Chain A
Amino acid sequence: MRGGRISAAAGILAAVATAACTNNPYPDRDAELPILYVAFREAPKTLDPAKAYTTVATQFNGNIYDRLLEYHFLKRPYTLIPALAAEVPSAVPLPDGRVAYDFELRPDLLFQDDPCFALGGDGRATRQVTAQDVVFQLQRVADPALASPVITAFGNIEGLLGFFERLGALREEDPGLAELPIRDQYARAGPIEGLVVEGDTRLRVILSAPYPQILYWFAMPFSAPVPWEAIDYYDGQEGRPHFADHPVGTGPYKMTYYDKQARVVLEANPNWYGVRHPEWKAPGATYPSEGMPEDAELGRLDPELVGQPLPFIQRIDFRREKESIPRFNKFLQGYYDMSRIIKESFDSVIHEDDLSPAMRAMGVRLETLVEPSVFYIGFNMEDDVVGAGGGARSRKLRQAMSLTIDSAEFVKLFYNGRGVPAQSPLPPGIFGYDPEYRNPYRQVDLERAAALLVEAGYPGGLDPATGKPLSLTFDTMDTSARGALVDQYLVDRWRLIGIDVQVAATNYNQFQEKVRKGAYQIFEWGWIADYPDPENFMFLLWSEMRRSRNEGPNSANFSDPRFDALFVKMKSRDNDAERLRLIREMRALLEEERPWIETFHREDYVLFHGWLRGVKPTGLSFPTVKYRKLDLALRESRRVEWNEPITWPAYGLAAVAVAVVLPGVFTFFRERQ
């Protein structure tokens, strides 16, 4: 009888344990809901659109804050389309070399519902978006207290930098000013001359000089309309969060849960113009009917998608995953809908540049995209040995060193082949990129390198002053074991032509200090585009951007009047034949001067499950979730199939434990008897 009760209890326990055993990280009730599950690694520092400049913040903000303009989902090269604005404005020339852009906002735009709007009148849950809200946000970008990272770009707007200075000075003169409501503070600092509001929906943006790239900045959340009520209300007092943690926008989604250390949830925003006015068939609120030829082949232009009102997905559930292996395993279990490939699993996922049979059997799909980025080894052009001061001798040395680095091998060894060898600073997809171009100094040619060293006065890599191999220093910020391997590879390559390069691995700050003092010769760096324009790459070599003078991003301190003249002509032009000619001239100059050894353009590999559609990697940081669609039945059936708990090992383990212990117990008691 007693044994029967024990057996029954054990049976019930086993049944409960089996039922409770599940690796599903989501509540069972969510299985049938159109929820997209996305992992994020780093907690965003801030969601304030005036400050947030990271990919992870854009992942959230981009869906919450609609901009005046946005990028076409499918077309490449990247093309701007209207979003909150009715049209993409054209430049209007003004006297004194100034330029204006006239934005006309769509009528009847609303902010998302939020308690902050009660500040504008009892019972109000939302209000209309006006051009003044865009101006207010640009004033915030110019607010010194916010330390916005993009003030330089928006500083092209006439009077914006003056506003920055006036507001800073006023706050210093009168510390009490900071206690006033933010709109009153801005009013005291006076208007920004280059932002002229006409009525509720018309905004004229005046630039003090031509800067066509400004339109790209209006496709980023920095310039999205923000309601003043949100700034006043979300002040961190009386249990209210700070505005940086509580976005209030106009986009297709609104935030409903925010614990940035663990989970963020966005829900479809019923106030979004795409939901309220599907009849407008606005380009940013309708699945596009045009794209690139491969889009049709890859099912991105299926009739089931084309012309449909957006968004398809009602909820986005972001879960924080700090470790890459668990994150990727959850993708393989079907709990994340898409993923990047982690280094550790690359060989099991990719076979001969395509998906492995195991991945294909799971219905996983692969998208690759060369990002608008460039990674390079740079020379400090102000150094006596490798820099411009050495004249032809140094130039030939740089050319020789460039001829030794095998980018294809480098990418294969250290990036699983995920990259395209670079021939110039411009990556694929950017105007001016030429797939046929082969930089003569970016091909591996050790014989020619040796000959150039002879011409440079370093025969066999020997420095005639010392009679020993020429000794150079390679400064790097990567102090990891992997970084040491990468550095060693480069050092070994240069050793092939007899040059002795010593690696000096330091942390970021020490490296910055060296850069400030000009105490460096060779370094490595990378750049990912803010916007798809050659100016955003070529300015990295403009003398105005020299790190030694202006602490700009030109870390090579390259300064060449010929290049500068070409750059200044190129930067403000439209993408025409003349601009292409200027870019080719700049490229030829860089080819010869070699301030950089361009190594590669990074390639992004994105995996997604067969139940997710409307996926196209962008390379640039702009959100595309609203274009995605889920097949829920397929997802649920695959999850069940892939994740059946295997319980027999538990019973086996328990049986072994009992089998080991029981004889001892019996023997013990028998002996005691």
Chain B
Amino acid sequence: MLAYVVRRIAYGVVVVAGVLLLLFVLFFAVTDPNDIARRALGDKVPPDVIEQWKANHGYDKPLWPWQAADNLLFDHFRRMVTFDFGRSDADDAPIVDRIRRGIGPSLVLSVPMFAAGLLLGVVLALFVAFFRETYIDAAGVFVCVLAMSISILLYIIGAQYVVAKLLHWFPISGFDPAPDVVARFLAMPVLVGVLTGFGGDVRFYRTVFVEETSRDYVRTARAKGCGEGRIMLWHVLKNGMIPILTRVVLAIPFLFTGSLLLESFFGIPGLGSITVDAINGNDFSTLRTMVFIFSLLFVVGQIAVDVSYSLVDPRVRLE
């Protein structure tokens, strides 16, 4: 297994390096340091100030290694590999500080959303699997497909309009980490996050549970007089956990990266929101850091899924 993990890590390094190279090429294909400087300093600054800013941020260097030994591409990789993320192009703030500040709001949104989504998905899937081939099952399919078909933007705008504006249940947007008010800000994004995800989850988990209910051990349990409730909650749920675990383990690393759209629309200053701001503000140094972190977490998540498989199911061997 160790050899497998080492091999996967090596693949992961190549993937992350490729992502960083692609990011560099794409970013500098559509913009150049003058544009970044203009965005940071505004339109009214004289050219000397632009040049000084570029020098201060290292953007006065040539882009490619064949142009000069001390080049922007080398600097880009060096910074990422050494975790020296530097300062934001938009406002000179240390990027590490920003990540440190953003991770809290991202987690307070993503963890409850993840937990509630998982709980609701499993419970509803068990419920519709229990009532399979009845109209409750059919209604479940209808609701799930409907939920999956609607864009998250519609959920967000609809929730803000109906739940917040018309019904006055929760604030339309915003965030305050104070313990007495934080829940009211999180209620609606969590609700929207759960609604957007539950359709796919329920359909997937239902398939797993229905497949399990047709297995021999379920028939045996039933023959031995085991109640349907116990069969579903004890035997089927436990054996259906392997595919569920795959989804869960893969999702865990991304709890840290936040949700781009939810954070942005609901005004939650998490890592997702920072990423959207970096895209909108031509903030290359922040954007590359966030993409680097995303790609690292993705690779880690993939390896974790494989390892977790072998841990929970002895039949799976990693070669």
Enumerate chain A interface residues (CB-CB to B < 8 A).
20-28, 43-46, 53-54, 144-145, 147-149, 151-152, 236, 242, 244-245, 259-263, 319-323, 325-327, 329-330, 333, 335, 507-509, 512, 530, 551, 553, 643-647, 649-650, 660-661, 664-665, 667-668
6 residue pairs of the A-B complex, CB under 8 angstroms, read: A28-B180, A242-B94, A245-B93, A509-B38, A644-B168, A645-B168
Contact (Cβ within 8 A) A321 B49? no
Cβ-defined partner of A25 (8 Å) among B34, B176, B180, B183? B176
Does B102 belong to the interface (CB within 8 Å)? Answer: yes
Contact (Cβ within 8 A) A149 B41? yes
Known: A22-B170, A530-B44. 19 other contacts (CB 8 A): A23-B171, A25-B171, A25-B174, A25-B176, A149-B44, A242-B92, A260-B91, A262-B267, A319-B267, A320-B267, A323-B267, A329-B160, A330-B173, A509-B38, A512-B34, A646-B166, A647-B167, A647-B169, A668-B136
Given A45-B90, A261-B273, A664-B135, A147–B52 Cβ distance below 8 Å? yes
Does B32 belong to the interface (CB within 8 Å)? Answer: yes
Does B164 belong to the interface (CB within 8 Å)? Answer: yes
Cα A303 to Cα B66 with chains together (Å)? 74
Contact (Cβ within 8 A) B166 A661? no
Select the residue from B91, B135, B176 with max chain A CB neighbours within 10 A.
B91
Going nearest first, the 10 A-B pairs with the smallest beta carbon separation are A509-B35, A45-B91, A261-B269, A262-B269, A149-B45, A25-B171, A326-B173, A664-B136, A147-B52, A326-B172
* Closest partner residue, chain B, to A22 (CB atom): B184
Contact (Cβ within 8 A) A329 B172? yes
Proximity bits, B9-40, A CB within 8 Å = 1, else 0: 00000000000000000000011101100101
Nearest-neighbour CB distance to chain A for B64, whole angstroms, equals: 19
Cα A365 to Cα B98 with chains together (Å)? 39
Select the residue from B34, B56, B173 with max chain A CB neighbours within 10 A.
B173
Select the residue from A322, A645, A665 with max chain B CB neighbours within 10 A.
A322
Contacts of B40 in A (CB 8 A): 45
Cβ-defined partner of A329 (8 Å) among B38, B134, B135, B165? B165
* Closest partner residue, chain B, to A146 (CB atom): B52
Given A22-B184, A261-B273, A323-B173, A551–B47 Cβ distance below 8 Å? yes
Nearest-neighbour CB distance to chain B for A554, whole angstroms, equals: 13
* Closest partner residue, chain B, to A512 (CB atom): B34
Cα A43 to Cα B281 with chains together (Å)? 11
Contacts of A262 in B (CB 8 A): 105, 175, 267, 269
Does B306 belong to the interface (CB within 8 Å)? Answer: no
Cα A54 to Cα B134 with chains together (Å)? 62
Does B264 belong to the interface (CB within 8 Å)? Answer: yes
Contacts of B38 in A (CB 8 A): 508-509, 512
Does B83 belong to the interface (CB within 8 Å)? Answer: no
Contact (Cβ within 8 A) B185 A25? yes
Contact (Cβ within 8 A) B269 A646? no
* Closest partner residue, chain B, to A262 (CB atom): B269
Nearest-neighbour CB distance to chain A for B311, whole angstroms, equals: 37
Contacts of A242 in B (CB 8 A): 92-94
Cα A571 to Cα B92 with chains together (Å)? 36
Contacts of B34 in A (CB 8 A): 509, 512
Given A244-B92, A509-B31, A668–B47 Cβ distance below 8 Å? no
Contacts of B139 in A (CB 8 A): 660
Contact (Cβ within 8 A) A46 B165? no
Contacts of B172 in A (CB 8 A): 23, 326, 329-330, 333
Nearest-neighbour CB distance to chain A for B274, whole angstroms, equals: 7
Q: Which residues of B114-141 are within 8 A (CB) of A? A: 131, 134-136, 139
Contact (Cβ within 8 A) B176 A263? yes
Contact (Cβ within 8 A) A326 B56? no
Contacts of B176 in A (CB 8 A): 25-27, 263
Cβ-defined partner of B91 (8 Å) among A44, A322, A644? A44
Nearest-neighbour CB distance to chain B for A53, whole angstroms, equals: 5
Contact (Cβ within 8 A) A646 B42? no
Does B265 belong to the interface (CB within 8 Å)? Answer: yes
Contacts of A236 in B (CB 8 A): 94
Given A22-B184, A321-B267, A259–B93 Cβ distance below 8 Å? no
Contact (Cβ within 8 A) B181 A507? no
Does B3 belong to the interface (CB within 8 Å)? Answer: no
Contacts of B44 in A (CB 8 A): 53, 149, 530, 553
Contact (Cβ within 8 A) B102 A261? yes
Given A25-B174, A322-B267, A329-B165, A43–B277 Cβ distance below 8 Å? yes
Contacts of A322 in B (CB 8 A): 264, 267, 273
Contact (Cβ within 8 A) B41 A147? yes
Q: Which residues of B75-108 are within 8 A (CB) of A? A: 90-94, 98, 101-102, 105
Contact (Cβ within 8 A) B171 A261? no
Does B46 belong to the interface (CB within 8 Å)? Answer: yes
Contact (Cβ within 8 A) B42 A46? no
Nearest-neighbour CB distance to chain B for A239, whole angstroms, equals: 10
Cα A54 to Cα B45 with chains together (Å)? 12
Does B198 belong to the interface (CB within 8 Å)? Answer: no
Contact (Cβ within 8 A) A26 B181? yes
Cα A243 to Cα B80 with chains together (Å)? 26
Contact (Cβ within 8 A) B169 A645? yes
Contact (Cβ within 8 A) A643 B168? yes
Cα A439 to Cα B273 with chains together (Å)? 48
Cα A27 to Cα B179 with chains together (Å)? 10
Contact (Cβ within 8 A) A149 B49? yes
Cβ-defined partner of B274 (8 Å) among A44, A259, A261? A261
Contact (Cβ within 8 A) A149 B168? no
Nearest-neighbour CB distance to chain B for A513, whole angstroms, equals: 9
Cα A152 to Cα B50 with chains together (Å)? 13
Cα A649 to Cα B46 with chains together (Å)? 58
Contact (Cβ within 8 A) B169 A23? yes
* Closest partner residue, chain A, to B98 (CB atom): A261
Cα A323 to Cα B160 with chains together (Å)? 12
Cα A671 to Cα B277 with chains together (Å)? 58
Nearest-neighbour CB distance to chain B for A162, whole angstroms, equals: 15
Does B178 belong to the interface (CB within 8 Å)? Answer: yes
